[in-house]
Amino acid sequence: MAANNSDPIPDQLGEGGAGVKHETGEEVGEETSSSAAQATATTMLPRSSSRPQLDLSGAAIHGTLEDRNPTILLPNQSDDISHLALDIGGSLIKLVYFSRHAELSTEDKRKISTKRKLGMFNGGRRSYPILGGRLHFVKFETGKLNECLDFISSKQLHRGGIDSPSWRSGAQPDDIVIKATGGGAYKYADVFKERLGVSLEKEDEMDCLVAGANFLLKAIRHEAFTHMDGQKRYVQIDQNDLFPFLLVNIGSGVSIIKVDGHGEFQRVSGTNVGGGTYWGLGKLMTKCKSFDELLELSQRGDNSTMDMLIGDIYGGLDYSKIGLSASTIASSFGKIISENKELSDYRPEDISLSLLRMISYNIGQISYLNALRYGLKRIFFGGFFIRGHAYTMDTISFAVHFWSKGEAQAMFLRHEGFLGALGAFMSYEKHGLDDLRAHHLVERFPMGAPYVGGKIHGPPLGDLNEKISWMEKFVQKGTQITAPVPMGVPATTGMGGFERPTSKGDILRSDASAALNVGVLHLVPTLDVFPLLEDPKTYEPNTIDLDQDEFKYWFKILSDHLPDLVDKAVASEGGTDDAKRRGDAFAHAFSAHLARLMEEPAAYGKFGLVNLLELREECLREFQFVDAYISIKQRENEASLAVLPDLLMELDSMNEEARLLALIEGVLAANIFDWGSRACVELYHKGTIIEIYRMSRKKMQRPWRIDDFDMFKKRMLTDRKDQPYKRALLFVDNSGADVVLGMLPLARELLRRGTEVVLVANSLPALNDVTANELPEIIAEASKHCSILRKAAEAGGLIVDAMAGIQDDLKDEPVSVPLMVVENGCGSPCIDFRQVSSELAAAAKDADLLILEGMGRSLHTNLNAHFKCDALKLAMVKNKRLAEKLFNGNIYDCICKFEPVF
């Protein structure tokens, strides 16, 4: 669909609440304040009026995280620009290209109305997202330039991709100019002109390296990491504390650049002993046919058979006077001199390891010396020599750490080899980068996107069929490739007076394995940091760290849940053969992710439960399961709506105090309807929805495990009775009883007290969570039995009565504060407040109360989060282990945590 640039805001919102009956049986509470009823915030979202040619707003990674070069998604790129940039190096050609995919604008009536209420429309400008796309990263060996040209040609990348208008109109590419960097941009310019008809516009290599590195460090949350003793640790870079740093790009040769800012840098040194040296000498000495083969050999090597160690010179003793241990390498390959052996007498494994150590230590040492020269503490290493190889990174880190006595730190980048190509890509329109922040980037983990050139190109994006079979093939291949490589542990190696690195990179993920683009970076400009977070810098969504032990537990939980989930997903798509095939592919894909994470929990960046639970939902979406729990949700909504009138009557017969308690109890009790909890799902076989709800209510016994109810009651009914909250954001959780019998009655109570209520719900389905799109219908139904809800929903634009006559009849009724719905920007059972929808961020500006409901949003995540306004966290703990771990409590304990800001 074509982009709609004009944001037409219909004056008539049409039939959104058709058929709503007006009732007169209820009075809006006397506390209703009419000023509170003027519910529109005036906040306007900052939007640039002119958009960059290359719209990087909302970029996101698409590629394995562990795999160094995830593809990046640009959801808002809409102009017809050149979509390809190249870095043609001495060894490898790196391509960064943009593939776009049309995305229908998802502006529905609810959103339009809410945005208008929140003051978020500025007519005439288009809303996001319009067109999306991803940045892909692909590499080829420079010696196989033809493969690269074929690849570009087959995907018509030089003409903006096969879907581009220029391609469809059959336009000739004669005047197409592609940005390129690296020596090959000069050397092969003629070949590109001849074969593809395009001109290469040369960009300076150093400019590009620096621009690429700066972009990655600024915009991608888990781009940089340290690697010591086999342990990868992601480092969140503080932009205010980034410069200056040393950038060491280890390609064929090595460039050492001091970076002082954006576009401010100096190439301070370099060395000709680099990746080309390792691969060149290695090829000569071992007869290896590929770089990966050589690297893999090193993992089984023992360099003490070749390297002369201090112990060899000192008769097995340390040279302790100058701090060198017996196992220190005194001279790389030095032992060979005294031996009467031929090359063939040495093990290729040992040769490869000696070479790798020699070169890595040397680069580490030169880098350290340059860091020392300029007083720099941080050294970022890029270039394809590193190849995500644990031992190489450990070796470099050890050298930097040892020589600097811990003063300097070596860091690595996931997109290690693509800095130059990325920089060239960015040079199309440099200012496109300026607005991009880490919160615009969301990690996604799709299966299947091209990464390496040559034979494995991956399926065309969006072609589900190809994706499924490619993924199945990959899973088979990936398992072979990623099997641990047995390690011989050489006891006597070492260098420079410090112990040898412990990690030898027991697993070498091959390029093919990296082609399983399980992690991807999406750029989403509509995401914002939640403005009510007390301190976004220290905010950590996850309550418990997903370490190896914790991951093991979740591995089992999620694996056990998988067959049932697949059944539900397949049924939700009609149970067809196609759905079954997709169901299998989903199960494969998700299991492959779990297996990978089990192997290395840090494989996909710093990964918490919030990410893990979202990963499952993302996997479902990838195989086009729109909403696995749809029928369960509908059934539970209907059953709950049927008993809502009785519940409301019962509540209305109570005094204020009893009612508030009953409401909170009701929320906690109804949170039992959670299809993500094994224990709860077992309960559902034992009774109807209403029976379970009643049983759950009956069991509510105070004090709850955390019980701040009295404090909340005091705030509501005593201390500031005359000052109701102005706006409450209610983060709702599950469909059915949870939202209908729990949260809606609570919302109603707030509304009748004059508090505007914004129901915040998921943008996308996750388990049985209610979504923002589903809420208006539920509210419309509930409103049939409740005039408080009805008037508030009308005031909030959720229900529009088409019959103007009825509106006239109601003219004299008090105006209600509005009830609104906003989406949270997530499709997970948890919430990460660093990345929420701009709609929610806008709604938050005037809020003075947050109510987080459910285990995902208020226990797994955000239990320890602090906000700038009062917060109430309500949940039933439906998992035994979590209850024990967090509170030394029991399953079905309840939490009512009130955190007022005084």
Ligand X SMILES: Nc1ncnc2c1ncn2[C@@H]1O[C@H](COP(=O)(O)OP(=O)(O)O)[C@@H](O)[C@H]1O
- Out of 205, 708, 769, 893, the only residue in the binding site for Mn ion (CB under 5 A) is 769
Q: Hey, what are 611's tokens?
A: 């990410």
Whichever of 424 and 759 has its CB closer to ligand PAZ, that residue is 759
829 lies in the binding site for Mn ion (CB under 5 A): yes
Whichever of 682 and 812 has its CB closer to ligand PAZ, that residue is 682
- Shortest CB 829 distance to ligand PAZ, Å: 4
The contacts of residue 291 (CB under 8 Å, 6+ apart) are: 279, 387
- Out of 416, 622, 674, 749, the only residue in the binding site for ligand PAZ (CB under 6 A) is 674
- Shortest CB 584 distance to ligand PAZ, Å: 23
- Out of 96, 449, 663, 855, the only residue in the binding site for ligand PAZ (CB under 6 A) is 855
Whichever of 274 and 856 has its CB closer to ligand PAZ, that residue is 856
- Shortest CB 87 distance to ligand X, Å: 6
**Of these partners, ligand PAZ, Mn ion, ligand X, none, which one is at the site of residue 18 (CB under 5 to 8 Å by kind)?**
none
291 lies in the binding site for ligand X (CB under 6 A): yes
Half-sphere exposure at residue 485, Cβ-oriented, CA atoms within 13 angstroms:
25
The contacts of residue 278 (CB under 8 Å, 6+ apart) are: 294, 355, 356, 359, 385
- Shortest CB 257 distance to ligand X, Å: 14
Dihedral sign, CA of 249, 254, 258, 263?
negative
How many residues bind ligand X (CB under 6 A)? The answer is: 18
CA distances for 397 relative to 221, 408, 896, angstroms: 21, 9, 47
608 lies in the binding site for ligand PAZ (CB under 6 A): no
776 lies in the binding site for ligand X (CB under 6 A): no
- Shortest CB 828 distance to Mn ion, Å: 10
885 lies in the binding site for ligand PAZ (CB under 6 A): no
677 lies in the binding site for ligand PAZ (CB under 6 A): yes
Residues 2-61 contacting ligand PAZ, CB under 6 A: none
- Shortest CB 878 distance to ligand PAZ, Å: 6
622 lies in the binding site for Mn ion (CB under 5 A): no
The rounded distance, in Å, linking the Cα atoms of 677 and 877 is 10
Whichever of 293 and 540 has its CB closer to ligand X, that residue is 293
Stretch near ligand PAZ under the rule CB under 6 A, chosen from 121-129, 148-156, 429-437, 672-680: 672-680
CA distances for 294 relative to 283, 396, 516, angstroms: 8, 18, 22
- Out of 614, 733, 823, 893, the only residue in the binding site for ligand PAZ (CB under 6 A) is 733
- Shortest CB 695 distance to ligand PAZ, Å: 17
- Out of 97, 98, 265, 384, the only residue in the binding site for ligand X (CB under 6 A) is 384
Q: Single out the residue of 279, 277, 244 nearest to residue 362, CA to CA.
A: 277
860 lies in the binding site for ligand PAZ (CB under 6 A): yes
733 lies in the binding site for Mn ion (CB under 5 A): yes
How many residues bind ligand PAZ (CB under 6 A)? The answer is: 20
At 758, phi and psi to the nearest 5?
A: -115, 115
The rounded distance, in Å, linking the Cα atoms of 225 and 376 is 17
696 lies in the binding site for ligand PAZ (CB under 6 A): no
**Are 294 and 288 spatial neighbours (Cβ–Cβ below 8 Å)?**
yes
- Out of 496, 519, 827, 854, the only residue in the binding site for ligand PAZ (CB under 6 A) is 854
311 lies in the binding site for ligand X (CB under 6 A): no
Whichever of 265 and 530 has its CB closer to ligand X, that residue is 265
**Of these partners, Mn ion, ligand PAZ, ligand X, none, which one is at the site of residue 671 (CB under 5 to 8 Å by kind)?**
ligand PAZ
The region that residue 383 occupies, defined by phi over 0 for left and psi between -120 and 50 for alpha, beta otherwise, is left
Q: Hey, what are 853's tokens?
A: 């409901």
Whichever of 392 and 768 has its CB closer to ligand X, that residue is 392
Residues 756-785 contacting ligand PAZ, CB under 6 A: 767
The rounded distance, in Å, linking the Cα atoms of 18 and 894 is 38
The region that residue 854 occupies, defined by phi over 0 for left and psi between -120 and 50 for alpha, beta otherwise, is left
- Out of 856, 869, 893, 897, the only residue in the binding site for ligand PAZ (CB under 6 A) is 856
**Are 488 and 301 spatial neighbours (Cβ–Cβ below 8 Å)?**
yes
- Shortest CB 86 distance to ligand X, Å: 11
- Shortest CB 21 distance to ligand PAZ, Å: 32
279 lies in the binding site for ligand X (CB under 6 A): yes
- Out of 68, 100, 155, 387, the only residue in the binding site for ligand X (CB under 6 A) is 387
- Shortest CB 862 distance to ligand PAZ, Å: 11
The rounded distance, in Å, linking the Cα atoms of 540 and 640 is 35
The rounded distance, in Å, linking the Cα atoms of 493 and 510 is 26
DSSP-assigned states of every residue in 303-337:
GGGTSEEHHHHTTT--BGGGTB-TTSEEETTGGGG
- Shortest CB 674 distance to Mn ion, Å: 5
Dihedral sign, CA of 64, 65, 69, 72?
positive
The rounded distance, in Å, linking the Cα atoms of 543 and 557 is 18
Q: Hey, what are 216's tokens?
A: 């990655």
**Of these partners, ligand X, Mn ion, ligand PAZ, none, which one is at the site of residue 678 (CB under 5 to 8 Å by kind)?**
ligand PAZ
- Shortest CB 875 distance to ligand PAZ, Å: 6
Stretch near ligand X under the rule CB under 6 A, chosen from 19-27, 382-390, 561-569, 705-713: 382-390
- Shortest CB 831 distance to ligand X, Å: 39
- Shortest CB 222 distance to ligand X, Å: 21
**Of these partners, ligand X, Mn ion, ligand PAZ, none, which one is at the site of residue 557 (CB under 5 to 8 Å by kind)?**
ligand PAZ
252 lies in the binding site for ligand X (CB under 6 A): yes
CA distances for 187 relative to 420, 422, 424, angstroms: 17, 20, 17
Whichever of 357 and 593 has its CB closer to ligand X, that residue is 357
The rounded distance, in Å, linking the Cα atoms of 292 and 139 is 14
- Shortest CB 854 distance to Mn ion, Å: 5
How many CB atoms sit inside 10 A of residue 88's CB? 27
Q: Single out the residue of 370, 356, 389, 652 nearest to residue 490, CA to CA.
A: 356
The rounded distance, in Å, linking the Cα atoms of 874 and 896 is 5
**Of these partners, ligand X, Mn ion, ligand PAZ, none, which one is at the site of residue 385 (CB under 5 to 8 Å by kind)?**
ligand X
- Shortest CB 762 distance to Mn ion, Å: 9
Through-space distance between the first and last CA atoms of the chain, rounded to whole angstroms: 50
How many CB atoms sit inside 10 A of residue 753's CB? 21
The contacts of residue 672 (CB under 8 Å, 6+ apart) are: 680, 683, 692, 693, 696, 737, 738, 876, 878, 892
**Of these partners, ligand PAZ, Mn ion, ligand X, none, which one is at the site of residue 855 (CB under 5 to 8 Å by kind)?**
ligand PAZ
**Are 870 and 898 spatial neighbours (Cβ–Cβ below 8 Å)?**
yes
Q: Single out the residue of 239, 259, 233 nearest to residue 248, CA to CA.
A: 259
Q: Single out the residue of 297, 300, 271 nearest to residue 285, CA to CA.
A: 297
278 lies in the binding site for ligand X (CB under 6 A): yes
679 lies in the binding site for ligand PAZ (CB under 6 A): yes
Residues engaged in binding ligand X (CB under 6 A): 89-92, 141, 182, 251-252, 275-276, 278-279, 291, 383-385, 387, 417
Which residues lie near ligand PAZ (CB under 6 A)?
557, 613, 671, 674, 676-679, 733-734, 767, 829, 854-857, 860, 875, 878-879
